[in-house]
Amino acid sequence: MTTLIGTIRESLRYKGREGQIAWMGHRLAGLGTLLFFVIHVVDTSWVFFAPELYSEAIALYKSPLFLLGEVGLMAAVIFHAINGLRIAVMDWRPQLWKYQRQISVATFAIIAILFVPAFIIMAGHIIEILSSGAGGVAGL
């Protein structure tokens, strides 16, 4: 049976180029974002269902591990969104497939250009939160 792990392992072995990196990145980023999304909707619903628990969830988001995860999530969403836009545009305009390699490279470049300022600003937030002592949960 083919598995997700098998896909990742074989993809590394196969050394596919832009298209395959884009496909695997899109799948992993989509699944990662979905996992976070489910957790995040549940904890946000505690604003209504369990306000005390909500405070604890928010404290967890201010821990170093989750702050790091937040940066990873930003990267995953930017990758999935911009690459997803590429997929949609190429499906609507098949004549663009002549330039698929160049378009893939341009897509990666746009992703990097969007992520760099986001990373710098978020790193600033993290330093501020951790140095103010607001990062609550011990051990994380």
Distance (Å, whole) CA 126 – CA 81: 24
Q: Which is nearer to other proteins, 23 or 100 (CB)?
A: 23
Q: How far is the CB of 44 from other proteins (least distance, A)?
A: 7
Interface residue with other proteins among 8, 68, 85, 106 (CB under 8 A) is 85
CB 33 within 8 A of CB 80: yes
Q: Which is nearer to ligand HEM, 37 or 99 (CB)?
A: 37
Q: Which is nearer to other proteins, 21 or 28 (CB)?
A: 28
The verdict on 34 binding other proteins (CB under 8 A) reads yes
Q: Which is nearer to ligand HEM, 69 or 84 (CB)?
A: 84
The residue range among 64-72, 85-93, 113-121, 126-134 that interacts with ligand HEM, by the rule CB under 6 A, is 85-93
Give every CB contact of residue 80 below 8 A, 6+ residues apart in sequence: 25, 26, 29, 30, 33
Q: What is the contact surface with other proteins in residues (CB under 8 A)?
A: 1-4, 7, 27, 30-31, 33-34, 37-38, 41-42, 44-49, 51, 54-55, 58, 61-62, 67, 70, 74, 77, 81, 84-85, 87-88, 91-92, 118, 121-122, 125, 128-129, 132, 134
